[in-house]
Chains A and B, each alone.
Chain A
Amino acid sequence: MLRNIYKILLLLLLASATVYASDSSKFDQGKKVFDKWCIHCHGVGMPATDALKIVYKGTDISPVLEERKELDADFVKYIVRNGKFSMPFFRKTEINDEQLNSLALYLSTKNK
C-alpha cells in the first residue's frame, strides 16, 4: 500500500516537472517570438512604447510590454490577430497558434 503511494507521488512529481519544463520551454519560445516580431516597436524607446507612454501617463502602468504586470494572455492573442491602430494583425505563416500561445504566456507571466 505504502509502496503504491510512493509510486503515485513519484509519478505526480514527474508529471509536474514535465509540465514545468514544458511551460518553461513555452516561456522561452514566447521570448523568442517577442524578440522577432514585437520588440522592434514595443522595445524601450521604440514607437509603440512612445505612444503607450502617452496613454499611461500619470499611471503606474509601464509603456514597455515586457515590464507589464497585468497583461492578460487572451488580450495579447486578440491584439496579435486583430491589430490596433496602425499595428497590423499577424498571419499564421508569421506567428502560428503555438507561437502565439507561447508569446501570450511569456507576456502574461513574466512579471508575476
Chain B
Amino acid sequence: MSKNEDTMILPNGVNKKDFLAAIKEFEKIVGKKWVFKSKEDVYLYRDAYSPYWDEPEEPIPSLAVAPKSTEEVQEIVKVANQYKIPIFPISTGKNLGYGSSAPNNRGDVVVDLKRMNKIIEVNDKRNYCILEPGVSYFDLYNYIEENNLNVMMDIPDPGWGSPVGNSLDHGWGYLHGQFRDHFGNHCGMEVVLPNGELMRTAMGALPGAKTFAENKYGYGPYVDGLFSQSNFGIVTKMGFWMMPKPEHYTLAAITVPRRDDLIPLVEILNYLEDSSIVGWPLYRSPLNPEYGKPMNPELKSYLTSKNGKPDIEKIQDYALRNEIPYWRIDVSLYGTKDAVAANINYMKERFSKAIKGSKVEVTEDYDLPLTEEQKKSLKHKVTLGIPNLEIFWLSTRGEELGPKDGHVWFSPIIPRDGKELLKCQEIYIDTFYELGMESMITPFSHPRTWMYRAFCFMIGFANSREDKEINEKMRKVYTTMVKVAAKHGWGDYRAAPPFQDIVSGVYNFNDNILKRFAEQLKDTIDPNGIIAPGRGGIWPKRLRGDKNA
C-alpha cells in the first residue's frame, strides 16, 4: 500500500476497495495524468477561503478527475453510479467566497471541467455564444478581440470565472439589466444526467435545431432552472445572449447631499434603469475612506456616539459641513453619441427637479472602439465587458490595513427601495451591537446593484487560514445574520457550501414545500445520490437524516 493510500480521504459511504477500483476506471476514461490522487494534488482543490480551513469538517475532496469531453463526463458518471461515489462538478473552480473549487462535503470526488474549454460558437450577427464550462471570461474576451467580433459578454468580477459556472450559481454582471442576470441570460443547455444520459434542453432537444442559443423555451416545460444551484446533472454546454458593442460609452456620476435623498434617488434610478436609459448603477458613499486608508476620526467617532450606536444627525452634519456628498452613483450609458448626450441631459433635468443639491457630471466619454490606453484607464472595465482581477483590491493590504486571507459572502436580497435600505442598515447595525462586535455596516453602507430588480446588501466576512477562532466566530455571526435577515423578509441569493443548508432552510414557505419538491426530484432523477450531495441544500435520501435533520 502506498503512502498516499494510507492517508487517503474516502468518499462518504464508500470503502477503500471500491474506491481504488473506481480510481482505476476513472484512469481508463481520462488517462492517469488527469486523475489527481496524491495529497499534494488533491489539496489544490481546497477552498482557499474556507470557513473550516484545517478543521475536520473542511470539505477536502478524496480525488479529482479532469475530463476533456462530454463523453468522458458520461463515463465518469456511470462509474460513480456503479460504486455510489459522490461527485462534485466545477467549471473553472474560481467561485471564491462561495466555495472555490472545493466540493460540498469532505471526500466528494471533484469533476474538474477546466479542460473542457471549447468556444463552440460566437455569433456577432445574431449576438450569442455557445461555450463549454472550462472557458473563462478572459478566454472568451480574447477570442472576441482576436477575431474582431462586434459583441461583448456581460462579465462578473473577477474575469477568470466561467460563464457556465457563474450563471449556474446565479452570478451577476455590469451591463444593461437583461444581460446582468447571467442565468436568466443563458439560452440552451446540454446536461449529463445522473444516470449518464445526455440531455439537451429547449431548442436543443430538436435534433438539427438552428436556434439552440436564441430561443429559450422550445416546447414543453422549461427545465433549465433545475440545474442551477442544485445537483440534478452536470452541465457540459450552454448558450448565452450577448450585447452588441455600442458606438459610444459615457460614465456619469450623480451626487446628492443628504442621507434621505437616497429615497427619491433610487426611484429615479429604477425608472432610468428599467427603461434601459442607463446600465448598471454603482452606488457608493464618498463618506467611506479610500480602501485601506483610515476613516476621518471625527466621522468615525459618530459611528458609536449615540449610546454605542451611530448618531445619524451628526454624520449628516459632518457631510454637509465638509461638502462631502452623502451618496454618489456612477452610471454607464451606451448607444449612439447623440442618444447618450440626450439621455445625460434628461438625467440632469430629472435629478435637479427632484433632489435639491443633486449634481450629474460626466466623468468618462468615449467613442468606441477604445484604444488600448483608454481600456487601461477605464474606471469600471467591467461595464464594457473587459475582464480583469482588479476587484482583489478589496482583500489586499492597504496603508492602514493588513491583508486578508479571503472572505465569505453573506448576500441577502432586499427590495430596490431607499427606505428599505436605510432600514436594513439599522437592523444590521443593531445585530452587530447585540453580538458585541464593531459593526461592519454604517449609516452610509451602500447596496450592491447587479440584480436589476432588487438590491443585495452584502457583507464579506473575513476568513483565516491561520486562526480557527476567527472562522468559528465568523460562522456564528453568519448564521445569526441569515436568521435576522429572514425575519425581515430578506434571503441570500447565493452561499458557500457550509451555509447552504441554513440559507436554503429559511426558504421554508408551507412546511418547506420547495425543499421537499426538490428532494422528490432528487430521489427520482438521482436515486444513488451521486451528484453533488447537499448542493443548494438538496440532499439525496441516503444522506438526508444526518446532514439535514
Contact = CB atoms under 8 A, between A and B. Distances in A.
Interface string B27-64: 00000001010001100111011000000000000001
Contacts of A37: 160
B112 A93 contact: yes
A99 B403 CA distance: 28
Residue among B94, B112, B396, B404 having the largest count of chain A Cβ atoms under 10 Å: B396
Interface in B368-407: 388-390, 392-393, 395-399, 403-407
B44 A47 contact: no
B404 A85 contact: yes
A37 B136 CA distance: 12
A60 interface: no
B158 to A, nearest CB: 8
Interface stretch (A5-13, A16-24, A49-57, A65-73): A49-57
Contacts of A94: 93, 114
B405 A46 contact: no
A99 to B, nearest CB: 13
Nearest to B396: A51
B66 interface: yes
B389 A91 contact: no
A82 B405 CA distance: 12
B100 interface: yes
Given A46-B390, A86-B403, A91 B396 contact: no
A103 interface: no
Contacts of A50: 393, 396
Contacts of B337: none
Contacts of B392: 41, 47-48, 86-87
B166 interface: no
A83 B389 contact: no
A89 B44 contact: yes
B188 interface: no
Contact of B44 (A46, A86, A92): A92
A63 to B, nearest CB: 11
B114 A91 contact: yes
A88 B390 CA distance: 15
A89 B114 contact: no
Contacts of A87: 392
Contact of B114 (A40, A41, A93): A93
A91 B403 contact: no
B405 A85 contact: yes
B96 interface: yes
Interface string A35-49: 011001100001110
A91 B158 CA distance: 17
Given A40-B389, A85-B404, A85-B405, A90 B397 contact: no
Contacts of A92: 36, 41, 44
Contacts of B406: 85-86, 88
Given A90-B44, A91-B44, A85 B100 contact: no
B314 interface: no
A81 interface: yes
Interface string B84-105: 0000000001101000110000
B48 A88 contact: yes
B48 A83 contact: yes
A85 B466 CA distance: 10
B159 interface: yes
A86 B405 contact: yes
A85 B405 CA distance: 4
A47 B399 contact: no
Contact of A47 (B159, B160, B396): B396
Contacts of B46: 89
Contacts of B66: 93
Contacts of B96: 88
B44 A54 contact: no
Residue among B44, B94, B112, B393 having the largest count of chain A Cβ atoms under 10 Å: B44
Contacts of A48: 392, 396
A83 B399 CA distance: 22
Contact of B389 (A41, A51, A85, A89): A41
B213 to A, nearest CB: 26
Contacts of A41: 389, 392
B390 A47 contact: yes
18 contacts: A40-B388, A41-B392, A50-B393, A51-B396, A51-B403, A54-B399, A85-B395, A85-B396, A85-B397, A86-B392, A86-B403, A86-B404, A86-B407, A88-B94, A89-B48, A91-B44, A93-B112, A93-B114
Given A40-B138, A46-B389, A48-B392, 18 more contacts: A36-B138, A40-B158, A40-B159, A40-B389, A41-B389, A47-B393, A47-B396, A50-B396, A54-B397, A81-B40, A83-B48, A85-B404, A86-B405, A86-B407, A88-B406, A89-B48, A90-B44, A93-B112
Interface of A: 36-37, 40-41, 46-48, 50-51, 54-55, 81, 83, 85-94
Interface of B: 34, 36, 40-41, 44-46, 48-49, 64, 66, 93-94, 96, 100-101, 112, 114-115, 138, 158-160, 388-390, 392-393, 395-399, 403-407
